[in-house]
């Protein structure tokens, strides 16, 4: 059985490309409220795991001991665009814990924010691991290592106490036992695979933390507070996560590589998780927007609708729509179609 | 019925993402030699249409009248990377026909070749429509318009004689009648949809042109000769089309947006066409390589195998393979799996 088509890309009179995928919306008890496709197959959450990866930083007292701010918690949960607002804050945090860019296990990559990259090239600057979208998360692990008295070097190894804590936290929040399959994420840190059902349930713990221990509840609430207070630090200028969180205050939306997206919806006490089969972010961004509208967690106004139906312009920037000669290009959200395959228990 | 999975992307112990698709390999009479998936659904060839789009330029005598070289024919068939070797040749060609960059209907986009883009930024230069990967094709249309005594302005309109000739040529080479569905391509020119079976048959006419009229046969042979003689002009430094053509002299490989690829295989008298459902080029590049190896049109040596199984490094560039802790990241060609669904008539 293949997953349903959840996003269609049209050109002219035809559907040109399609994206298949699955999604799960669960409450904190693991009860599914909406679903489509195979929600039991293990998937790597990739960067959508970051809110969970930030829990030990707070729960252990490391954040308090090192005076970690809400802005820095937001950066620990971020796939940031490498803009100066991100890199200067991460660098200052590293300095405060007695570390520096040379301690980062992630490699350097071009800043996601194109204007920043262009300005750096024009100045003759080179990007460093600080510009890696995961540098805040890594600095969180370094802070945790410092607090635990563990070596900072090797914080990305699966046997390091920081990573063991992440795995334990994830399993507890997703109500899983046993070893989880894992792979190495793009930024060198382990990433643990679990079903969309389990991932949605873990995210629902953030939305409705009543079942958590007091220390974890406080940590989960602080993650949500920090991310929703600083959406521009969680992603960056013009990014979909940032825009979704700005449009719906209180909501957490977090992308992951290879077509993953999660949402934490405190107003409904729900968590959502989705994965596009082929890994395309154009489809995950469209589907999460459609899902949030369907759930009533995002108003179906112009800005949200623009995300759910993003234009595919040509190189002259011709506007989308039924223009001359039948030009009708667009990524159309087919969440309505996916909704036909969904059920409410 | 969904198309088969043709490419798998693995990470750690799991298949992380999958790409579905369809392919057809046909001879000049339209007999299918290999196929998988739905090969009858219309698809847009996008830039893989360029060899056909170049036929009227030669067949009408326009190329001869304006002294168009084989290098320029290769550029007319190119999705080039905007390197100086491409843009200087296109500019010189335009000057010779009394045109300039301002006549190009395509918009400007960042050169595909990253080094060229970086050097332009460092110099403070801005890209122009000459850097558009389709600027050679457009210059071919402008040359054709000049030769026909038609206005250059509007050469991208579907009613322009240049575009009418393209549609007629495509239908004849694919043995189709009636109107074809069309959409506007990224570069503003019409693109006509047809089945993979028909597209593969059209490409087989280039590989085995015996059934064509003398003028068209000569044009088709010149397209193949020009593309195979100048693979670096058809794409660019490090590009898959260029590398495939260099590895297998005489072979034409041409990518198209949204996961399309075609091949012209004169040694076998066959044409191939494929489309990845979701439009991913990482998958189309993997599948065309696997297909060409399966057909015996490409030797299964290290270089080709590297394309058929492209690494997914992390940001530290950790090498692919069964490295420490089970790291095993890679795009694996599943054409063997697709082959299980194929049949030979």
Chain A touched by B13 (CB under 8 Å): yes
Q: What percent of chain A shows pLDDT beyond 70?
A: 87
Q: List the structure tokens of B81.
A: 């990377």
pLDDT over 70 at A330, yes or no: no
Q: Is the ipTM value over 0.95, yes or no?
A: no
pLDDT of residue B121: 95
Q: Do residues B244 and B298 lie in contact, with contact meaning Cβ atoms separated by under 8 Å?
A: yes
- The CA distance from B23 to B48, in Å, is 14
Q: Do B188 and A18 lie within an 8 Å CB cutoff?
A: no
CB pairs below 8 Å between A and B: how many?
161
Q: Which of A303-317, A328-342, B67-81 has the highest mean pLDDT?
A: B67-81
CA A13 vs. chain centroid, Å, equals 34
B141-164: per-residue pLDDT in tens?
999 999 999 999 999 999 999 999
Q: What is the DSSP string of B7-39?
A: EEEEETTEEEEEEEEEEEEEETT--EEEEES--
A136-166: per-residue pLDDT in tens?
999 999 999 999 999 999 999 999 999 999 9
- The structure's pTM equals 0.91
Q: Which of residues 23-82 of A touch B (CB under 8 A)?
A: 42-44
Sort out which chain A residues have CB atoms less than 8 A from B2's CB and list them.
2, 20
Chain A interface test: which of B315, B322, B329 (most A C-beta within 10 Å):
B315
CA A327 to chain B, closest CA, distance in angstroms equals 6
Among candidates B11, B121, B122 on the partner chain, residue whose Cβ is nearest the Cβ of A44 = B11
Beta-bridged to residue A9, according to DSSP, are A17, A331
- The CA distance from A191 to A84, in Å, is 27
Tell me which DSSP letter residue A226 carries. H
Phi-psi region of A259 (alpha: psi -120 to 50; beta: other; left: phi over 0): left
Count CA atoms closer than 13 A to A111's CA, side-chain side: 25
Range with the lowest mean pLDDT among A2-6, A14-18, A314-318, B261-265? A314-318
Among candidates B186, B258, B280 on the partner chain, residue whose Cβ is nearest the Cβ of A314 = B186
* pLDDT: which is higher, A12 or A180: A180
Chain B touched by A319 (CB under 8 Å): no
CB proximity list for B23: less than 8 A, separation 6 or greater? B6, B34, B35, B36, B37, B39, B196, B272, B273, B274, B275, B287, B291, B338
B265-301: per-residue pLDDT in tens?
999 999 999 999 999 999 999 899 989 988 999 987 7
Q: Do B278 and A19 lie within an 8 Å CB cutoff?
A: yes
Q: What is the 3-state secondary structure (H, E, C) of A243-269?
A: HHHHHCCCCEEEEECCCEEEEEECCCC
Sort out which chain A residues have CB atoms less than 8 A from B277's CB and list them.
17-18, 20, 278
Closest CA to A47 of A276, A259, A315: A259
CA A79 to chain B, closest CA, distance in angstroms equals 14
Count CA atoms closer than 13 A to B128's CA, side-chain side: 14
């Amino acid at each position: 059985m293949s997953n349903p088509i959840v996003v269609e890309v049209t050109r002219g009179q035809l559907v040109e490309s399609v994206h298949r995928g699955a999604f799960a919306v669960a409450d904190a008890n693991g009860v599914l409220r909406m679903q489509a496709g195979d929600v039991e197959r293990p998937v790597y959450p990739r960067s959508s795991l970051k809110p969970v990866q930030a829990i030990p930083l707070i729960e252990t007292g490391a954040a308090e001991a090192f005076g970690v701010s809400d802005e820095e918690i937001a950066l620990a949960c971020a796939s940031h665009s490498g803009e100066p607002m991100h890199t200067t804050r991460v660098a200052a945090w590293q300095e405060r814990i007695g570390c520096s860019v040379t301690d980062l296990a992630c490699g350097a990559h071009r800043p996601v924010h194109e204007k920043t990259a262009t300005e750096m090239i024009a100045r003759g600057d080179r990007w460093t691991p600080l510009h890696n979208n995961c540098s805040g998360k890594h600095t969180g692990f370094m802070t945790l290592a410092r607090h635990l008295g563990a070596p900072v070097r090797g914080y990305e190894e699966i046997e390091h106490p920081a990573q063991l804590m992440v795995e334990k936290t994830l399993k507890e929040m997703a109500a899983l036992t046993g070893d989880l399959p894992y792979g190495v994420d793009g930024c060198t840190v382990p990433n643990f695979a679990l079903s969309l059902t389990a991932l949605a349930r873990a995210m629902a713990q953030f939305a409705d933390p009543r079942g958590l221990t007091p220390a974890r509840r406080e940590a989960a609430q602080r993650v949500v507070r920090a991310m929703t207070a600083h959406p521009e630090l969680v992603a960056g200028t013009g990014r979909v996560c940032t825009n979704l969180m700005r449009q719906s205050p209180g909501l957490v939306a977090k992308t992951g590589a290879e077509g993953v997206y999660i949402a934490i919806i405190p107003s409904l006490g729900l968590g959502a998780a989705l994965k596009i089969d082929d890994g395309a972010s154009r489809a995950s961004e469209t589907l999460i927007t459609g899902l949030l509208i369907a759930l009533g967690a995002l108003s179906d106004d112009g800005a949200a609708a623009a995300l759910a139906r993003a234009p595919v312009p040509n190189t002259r920037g011709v506007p989308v729509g039924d223009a001359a000669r039948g030009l009708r290009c667009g990524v159309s959200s087919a969440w309505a179609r996916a909704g036909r395959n969904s059920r409410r228990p």
